[in-house]
Amino acid sequence: MEETKDRFNLSSPQGGPGGAAIFLVGFMGCGKTYWGRQLAPALGLPFIDLDGQIEQAAGKPINAIFADEGEEYFRQIEKETLHLLTETRSAFVMATGGGTPCFYKNIDYMKSKGRTVWINCSLECLYNRLIGEKELRPLVRDLDAGQLRAYIHRKHGDRRIYYQQADIIVETDDLKLEQLLGRIRGE
């Protein structure tokens, strides 16, 4: 993790070698989009929401893509969109989907293109956030409270191995923007 700190010069808009690409990874509901929208302007970088870009390109919401085409199709489109966006830009903050790092070696790809930051919050925090927004989340929309809790525990356990590969790990339950900026700048 320490060697990545030296690869970026975040004081300039283009960053150091390879630009200042920052990929926010983590479980659904952890706050990747929330923190990305705050982090990007603080660093003077554009913000990209990967799911939003997929929806725009497909002309329909993620939950409709899942319903109409299935998860495998979505994951292929997700990978293609990730590569396209990354190859056409060098400096940005991107909020990825919760499963993005877990398929098609996307975590390795993102690490080769920039810095990855795991936005991690407690399982209880995830549950409290997701129970109120289930309708917006195709993978948990039809789960009752007990099923949702079990899903979070199981899926988080499965995905943790990918999230842990991030260059920076940030606990978010009580996170402040200044702390997040400090971690990314290596302070």
What is the distance between the alpha carbons of residues 146 and 5, in angstroms, rounded to a whole number? 41
For the cut 60, the answer to whether the pLDDT of residue 12 exceeds it is no
The residues pairing with 23 across neighbouring beta strands, listed in sequence order, are 94, 116
At 59, give phi and psi (nearest 5°): 75, 20
Per-residue model confidence (pLDDT) at position 55: 95
What's the one-letter identity of residue 117?
A: V
Question: How does pLDDT run across 103-117, given as a tens digit for each residue?
Answer: 999 999 999 999 999
Q: Is 49 helix (H, G, I), strand (E, B) or coil?
A: strand
Q: Which of 16-25, 30-39, 97-106, 129-138 has the lowest mean pLDDT?
A: 16-25
CB 85 within 8 A of CB 50: yes
Domains of the chain: 17-185 (3.40.50.300)
Question: How does pLDDT run across 170-184, given as a tens digit for each residue?
Answer: 998 888 999 999 999
What's the one-letter identity of residue 162?
A: Y
Residue 176: partners with Cβ closer than 8 Å, 6 or more residues away: none
